[in-house]
Structure 1
């Protein structure tokens, strides 16, 4: 099994990117419904989970690592391009800020940063997939 993965690394990365791309596109399509659902939650319901707890923030950081940051790391390592590194760093900082400072329900209701990040990530991943296809064809 490891030989199959080792010989087809680009294909495994493309599959992973396609899965994350599907997550982002689904989020973008369902954004209005998600916001409507968030607006229906009262602040009393929020008290069930402490939004400032370390475990919730760590969960958000792990989720963002697999949803966003791992692709940024892969893109930097594979391309070796300084522009890709700069864009990845900017998206990483924005994602980190969003994860840490928009964990409270009232901030999450008002913030559109998740929408913008999902849109930018979708564009970023699409370009990265195209780059991988072209690199695979040319090699």
Structure 2
């Protein structure tokens, strides 16, 4: 009887796992795009930051947001750059990374979240980016 190792399951199937990851990202992004008006309405109903149970300007919230953005966006950008290796992909990834980093670091207060549509545009751009990346993986 042969022992089964996790490495044997992962080795050679990397593209499948990346595509599954991309479909999870697509699901998250499309759900956000679909519910964007509800989210904006909900944000508008909050009178002040005192109504929130969590301080959005706290260091812990910034760290959570950075970690979430890493798995939602930045890991995909890294994978696309490493797999495709095209200078155009590098430039687009760096631009999207810079915009999302700006969003995390400077759009954290409730007033800025109410005014900003940057998360909506990033979700749309990420959806397009993921779709193109999945098609590239599928065709290659």
Return the TM-score normalized by structure 1: 0.93
Matches for 1:2-81 after TM superposition, within 5 Å: 2-43=7-48, 44-46=50-52, 48-81=53-86
- Say which one has the larger Rg: 2
- Number of matched pairs: 134
CA shift digits 1:7-52 (9 cap, x unpaired): 1100100000100110000000000001111111110314x42222
Return the TM-score normalized by structure 2: 0.93
Write 1 or 2 for the structure with the bigger share of helix: 1
Name stretches of at least 5 consecutive residues in structure 1 with no aligned partner: none
CA RMSD of aligned residues (A): 0.9
Name stretches of at least 5 consecutive residues in structure 2 with no aligned partner: 1-5
CA shift digits 1:105-135 (9 cap, x unpaired): 1100110000000000000000000000011
